[in-house]
A and B are shown apart, each in its own frame.
Chain A
Amino acid sequence: MTDVKNLEDLFQAKIDAEQKIEPKDWMPEKYRKNLIRQISQHAHSEVVGMLPEGNWIGRAPSLRRKAILLAKVQDEAGHGLYLYSAAETLGTSREQTIDDLLSGKAKYSSIFNYPTLSWADIGAVGWLVDGAAIMNQVMLCRTSYGPYARAMVRICKEESFHQRQGYEIMAVLAQGTPEQKEMAQDALNRWWWPSLMMFGPTDANSPHSAESMKWKIKRQSNDELRQTFIDRTVQQAEVIGLSIPDPDLKWNEATQHYDWGAIDWAEFNNVVAGNGPCNKERLTARNKAHDEGAWVREAALAHAAKKAKKKQAA
């Protein structure tokens, strides 16, 4: 018992001294579990997030937009890969992690259970969804677990490009024809509140937060990050002439932040519970890709085994 207590003290001292925890270092089982949960959720979000955006690759309105969108969705797949690898350093296999997604046991960001209904949604997803994700990810570049922090540095660079391209789509639409402007405003109306929900429950209701902060997995609270995001995004919307769909939104001189209306947490809980507009489609699509790809993966393994055998015989 004393030994574990010692190890825990050493571990915490390392974290307090801003030293990174590496895969072979001793860590409390709960730290490991918490990280596996968070990193694999993050990986799943990248992969499931390819679906709503992939939905518009075939209909992108110009070749430039199509190439950008392809590159963006490809980046998300790459992020999924780094993150699955980061999770593997904690002793979980990629197969197991993916099986947990496919069975519905593991979660992914609920935002991807909303549909992309118009081209402007591709703008809104880049601007708001990637924008909200970046707030979290910039913080995670300094997270205490080394492989996660390093994966995040690379991911952040790409995500900031994603956010800019999304905002640019919105800016062009907002300056376009009346129909295009309406498309942009409608997308903002639909994506605004779900984007705010991406930061997770309020600090008072966030089950994993206190421990995550102590272990410096997280370094800023859900509410702090949400506020920073709102302050930034409101100004960006003003610049391109779109309105945030919140009648209670107003600048507060005293706090130097925006005050804003109430989030519909019932909707959030409902989508997390599996009852969002596209939960079923997303999981069905992932399962279909996995099932239909089974023979491909088997063939690759069988061929590799044959090749190895031939090499041995030679």
Chain B
Amino acid sequence: MSQTNALFTYTLRLADDLLILSHRLGEWCGHGPVLEEDIALTNRALDHIGEARNLLTYAGELEGKGRTEDDLAFLRPERQFLNTKLVEQPNGDYAHTIVRSFLFDAYHLPLAEALLKSSDAQLAAIAGKAVKEAQYHLRHSSDWLIRFGDGTEESHQRAQAALDNLWTFTGDLFTQDEVHQAMVKAGVAPDLAKIKAAFDATVDTVLSEATLNRPTDGFMASGGRQGKHGEQLGFILAEMQYLQRAYPGATW
């Protein structure tokens, strides 16, 4: 795989996490537990889609075949999506939504901070904007997780169940295949072991304050980065891509 191909794939991986998570968060719109959370979740969805758009546009440029952000979002089939399985998981109850975001945020913030020093100027610039947003995201999801863990018995149980259910999907976040290794070597991407250390520290601090137990690493899911997803992703794409697929070539 050439360096450009690896960079294209790596950029898509970054973009797809945000695109799919944004889609999931958008599903809450109008259905949140309090109006303030409707606003907070839409805020997050907007931040994620904003970062995804920058990354997809850049991926299109890297590829050099004239594909736009929309071509990449709406006209790629399921097997070409490179997001982690974590972000495609269904919203579930609010504890699942918060835990899914928390686990992602605990990875995304140190990743964005590391990408500030990327040898790729464009990725570094995109990370520059993302860092500030990711700090707020992590604060939002941590605060809620602490409220749930150290709230009522019911909220504690729900939060623990969500953690136990979603933990396996963090495996994907830290898998370093040859694409990733090539990016580390080129100074584009950070070594994921370092991101994992920051992730672990955040998780341990927040879970301790939340009086929740960190699940043990059992079977850890992987495959998302290679386009091998769960069955959920197909339905996300069926919804997301519907108009572009139904009316090929139309402008919106």
Contacts and interface: CB of A to CB of B under 8 A. Distances in A.
B188 interface: no
A205 interface: no
B36 A81 contact: yes
Contact of B93 (A77, A172, A179, A292): A292
A71 B93 CA distance: 24
B46 A70 contact: yes
A296 B155 contact: yes
Contacts of B154: 295, 298-299
Interface string A206-242: 0000000000000000000000000000000000000
Interface string A158-188: 0000000000010011001101100000000
Contact of B26 (A62, A66, A300): A66
A288 interface: yes
B153 to A, nearest CB: 9
A50 B29 contact: yes
A15 B23 CA distance: 49
B133 interface: no
Contact of A300 (B23, B52, B74, B151): B151
Contacts of B147: 299-300, 303
B176 interface: no
Contacts of A295: 152, 154-155, 158
A293 B33 contact: yes
Nearest to A56: B243
A39 interface: no
Contact of A57 (B26, B34, B36, B152): B26
B177 interface: no
B45 interface: yes
A81 B30 contact: no
Given A77-B42, A177-B250, A292 B70 contact: no
B78 interface: no
Given A59-B242, A67-B46, A54 B250 contact: no
B35 A81 contact: yes
A197 B196 CA distance: 58
A302 B42 contact: no
A285 B38 CA distance: 14
Contact of B151 (A59, A73, A293, A302): A302
A80 interface: yes
B244 A63 contact: no
B30 A293 contact: no
A66 B36 CA distance: 21
Contacts of A292: 33, 93-94
B129 to A, nearest CB: 14
Contacts of B50: 67
B39 A78 contact: yes
Given A67-B49, A74-B39, A300-B151, A58 B23 contact: yes
A257 to B, nearest CB: 35
Interface string A280-313: 0000010011001111111110110010000000
A63 B70 contact: yes
19 contacts: A57-B26, A57-B27, A59-B243, A61-B252, A63-B52, A63-B56, A63-B69, A70-B45, A73-B29, A77-B38, A84-B35, A119-B252, A176-B250, A177-B250, A180-B247, A180-B250, A285-B30, A289-B31, A298-B155
A-B interface, 5 closest residue pairs, ranked by CB to CB distance from nearest: A293-B33, A299-B151, A299-B155, A50-B30, A296-B33
Interface of A: 47, 50-51, 53-54, 57-67, 70-71, 73-74, 77-78, 80-81, 84, 119, 169, 172-173, 176-177, 179-180, 285, 288-289, 292-300, 302-303, 306
Given A67-B53, A299-B147, A299-B152, 4 more contacts: A60-B243, A67-B50, A296-B33, A296-B34
